[in-house]
Structure 1
Amino acid sequence: MSKILLIGYSTESTMSSFVEYLDSKSFSYDILDLCKITSCNFFHYNYSFKDLRISVNEDVFRFSEYDAFFTRGYYYDHGEIAVNRRLSDIMSVINGYLHFTQKRVINRPNMRGFNGNKFAHSILMESCGFRVPTTLTIGDSDLIIKLIADDLEGWVTKPSSGIRCEIKHITKQQASQISTGVINPLLIQKRIKGDDVRVHCVGEKQLPLMIRSSSVDYRYGKIDEYSPDIDIPTSQSVAMKQYQRRTGLNFIGFDFKISELDGMWYALEANPMPGFDFFDRRCDRKISQALLDLLIADDSSVRHKKFEEYSMEKDRIKIISPFGKR
């Protein structure tokens, strides 16, 4: 049986939900709890290209002993310089090992599909065949006011980074209250009214969930209806596979809107480290099972390719191996 290491915060809802599912299946795993790293009395690591050994109090993790890794490791500010430095240091070391190891990893660090840069992210999505709503980053309040005043369908504000934030509709009244002149750049996107669809791609599987809500952002409002029984258009299915191939990600959460005007699917975002517990519980835990299947699969498609294999053909970005020719 494959030996699995989970990396993340035990208090985070998605990680705790996945752990709960593994326990319900009596599946054996180890977990490197980043919460313990922030509060431990003893912490030490040894790192080489072939192995990483981390000691946290009495727990010792030798990465070379594991067959696969599931990571939800990320850094956040704890408010203490020493703790922040420790967490930043260990995340850098873990991410370095996970990015280049030949073993199975969900998801590899540094393969985020430009999620932290929404401008580049939109370009990448469009190049994969998605239909993306008009998205603008504007630092001129007068232009924002004119755009909104002349558009009856409306616009929404979105975060310009990968940080989760509520999506809000900008009304004409709100636009008129923006101070004139140069402002901090604001990312706005054409509002698409209609049902939301979240599709989790886990390896070759595509698991959709339709969500109907009267709120602009269902995550912060009331959900009226949801259903996993929805057909994904072939064009969108192909685009998602293309996105996976382009980024090398084997687990992605795609956000779509289905226009109530013409039924067209619009891609809003591709999440490289999706929080999936909310969706998982509404589709009979199929996401967790698919992740488990992927972690224990004896399949070269989930193993790491040589770095040169990520060189892009034709319109793809060329990435040069840091190790020179082999």
Structure 2
Amino acid sequence: MILLCGEASDSPLSSVHSLVESIGIPYIFMSGADAAEASITFELNHGRPTGILGCGGRSYALEAIGGVYLRVGNDILWENGQSAAFYDTFFEWCQIADSRVVTRPTSAASNSSKPYQAQLIQAQGLSVPDTIVSNDVDQILAFRTLHRRIVYKSMSATRSIVRLVGDEDLRRLHRVSWCPTQFQQFVEGVNVRVHVVGDKPIATAIHTDAVDYRYPSPSDRLSLTEVRLPDDLETKCLQLASALNLPFAGIDLKVTPAGRVYCFEVNPSPAFTYYERQTGQPIARALIDYLSGDCHNVAHG
């Protein structure tokens, strides 16, 4: 049995939900409204958690849940009320459950600090763009002189639009004195998103003129195509996902015209439907196969 946890309006969860129903795999769907009335109790028996999940007026043995697709963030614990208390215990179970959990709460933590995650990426043999986090205007200007074209972007898991530093940005650069900001060399080349699902890499090449292909202008060229990674790069992506304890990961790469590969970040809960719709790649099916135990995995799940 698979547990799907999140909102029906969430595109990745909705895609998995629809496919699970069409395949006929037993599942539980738990929305935020369900969580407000849900209950969970568990204990450790010989080191294994056993207990009961109450949801939608029914009770389920936790041991019967083989896979969990978790599309609810830890930030929900800041909310008041019964649902926050439920999620507190539920996330504790997700952390130690024998089930294949996508993604365990602590495994998602590295994405909360991009500079920290960059160190973990480098440790797996992948290059990262030259980066600074600074509130020193002179240092930032020197960094721009060195690389000529630089971008600024979020340091946290909060989504942001990647932008080139232009003339207007230079006129307000003094504002960084109050807010240290991440700047990065701009890398020319082809974007590649690699979805790692267990031991299966699914790679998509994004050809575009946009600085951030997620937010192209009407005039920007944009096309997505399925691509096969070289064996050594495929191995590094699998090893990176495994090292970050992510059975499902979205790895963002860029390949320069000279063939050098840079890794920007690893998303622990990727919104994969954009890539699936554009290319027809079976990402949702691969995820369901992992959650249901129908594929081998190299990352702890």
TM-score w.r.t. length of structure 2: 0.87
Other-structure match for 1:116: 112
Q: 2:199 aligns with which of 198, 204, 215?
A: 204
Other-structure match for 1:158: 153
CA change 1:84–1:224 in 2 (3 A) is farther
Of structures 1 and 2, the one with the larger relative CO (CA 8 A, separation 6+) is 2
Other-structure match for 2:140: 144
Cα distance in 2, alignment partners of residues 304 and 109 from structure 1: 13
CA change 1:59–1:302 in 2 (3 A) is farther
Other-structure match for 2:67: 68
Aligned residue for 1:192, secondary structure, equals coil
Q: 1:16 aligns with which of 11, 14, 17?
A: 14
Aligned residue for 1:94, secondary structure, equals helix
CA contact 1:145–1:176 (8 Å) conserved in 2: no
Deviates more, 1:175-184 or 1:110-119: 175-184
Cα distance in 1, alignment partners of residues 282 and 71 from structure 2: 19
Cα distance in 2, alignment partners of residues 194 and 54 from structure 1: 48
CA contact 1:102–1:303 (8 Å) conserved in 2: no
CA contact 1:75–1:88 (8 Å) conserved in 2: no
Q: 1:191 aligns with which of 175, 182, 186?
A: 186
CA contact 2:76–2:84 (8 Å) conserved in 1: no
Aligned residue for 2:34, secondary structure, equals helix
- Residue 267 (structure 2) pairs with residue 271 (structure 1): yes
RMSD of equivalent CA atoms: 2.6
Cα distance in 1, alignment partners of residues 158 and 250 from structure 2: 15
Other-structure match for 1:97: 93
Task: Give CA deviations for 1:138-188 in whole Å, capped at 9, x if unaligned.
Answer: 12123223322x145311111111111111111244123222783311011
Residue 303 of structure 1, CA deviation: 9.0
CA contact 1:51–1:62 (8 Å) conserved in 2: yes
More helix by share: 2
What residue identity is the alignment partner of 2:57? Answer: E
Other-structure match for 1:315: none
CA change 1:225–1:182 in 2 (3 A) is closer
Aligned residue for 2:98, secondary structure, equals coil
CA contact 2:199–2:298 (8 Å) conserved in 1: no
Residue 219 of structure 1, CA deviation: 0.9
Aligned residue for 2:80, secondary structure, equals helix
Other-structure match for 1:322: none
CA contact 1:73–1:91 (8 Å) conserved in 2: no
Cα distance in 1, alignment partners of residues 176 and 41 from structure 2: 53
Residue 76 of structure 1, CA deviation: 4.6
What residue identity is the alignment partner of 2:72? Answer: G
May I ask how many residue pairs the two structures share in their alignment? 295
- Structure 2 residue runs of 5 or longer lacking an equivalent are none
Residue 43 of structure 1, CA deviation: 4.5
What residue identity is the alignment partner of 1:17? Answer: S
Cα distance in 2, alignment partners of residues 292 and 302 from structure 1: 16
Residue 285 of structure 1, CA deviation: 4.5
- Residue 170 (structure 2) pairs with residue 175 (structure 1): yes
CA contact 1:113–1:121 (8 Å) conserved in 2: no
Aligned residue for 2:250, secondary structure, equals strand
Aligned residue for 1:218, secondary structure, equals coil
Cα distance in 1, alignment partners of residues 71 and 57 from structure 2: 22
Aligned residue for 1:175, secondary structure, equals helix
Residue 298 of structure 1, CA deviation: 5.9
Q: 1:288 aligns with which of 281, 284, 287?
A: 284
Off by >6 Å, runs of 4+ in structure 1: none
Task: Give CA deviations for 1:257-313 in whole Å, capped at 9, x if unaligned.
Answer: 1224x23221111111111111122232411111111122267747968xxxxxxxx
CA change 1:11–1:70 in 2 (3 A) is same
Aligned residue for 1:219, secondary structure, equals coil
Other-structure match for 1:233: 230
Task: Give CA deviations for 1:105-134 in whole Å, capped at 9, x if unaligned.
Answer: 222221126111112100000010111101
What residue identity is the alignment partner of 1:249? Answer: L
Cα distance in 2, alignment partners of residues 113 and 240 from structure 1: 18
Residue 77 of structure 1, CA deviation: 6.4
Cα distance in 1, alignment partners of residues 203 and 297 from structure 2: 22
Aligned residue for 1:115, secondary structure, equals helix
CA change 1:99–1:76 in 2 (3 A) is closer
Q: Which structure 2 residues correspond to residues 230-269 of structure 1 after superposition, within 5 A?
A: 230-260=227-257, 262-269=258-265
CA change 1:283–1:113 in 2 (3 A) is farther
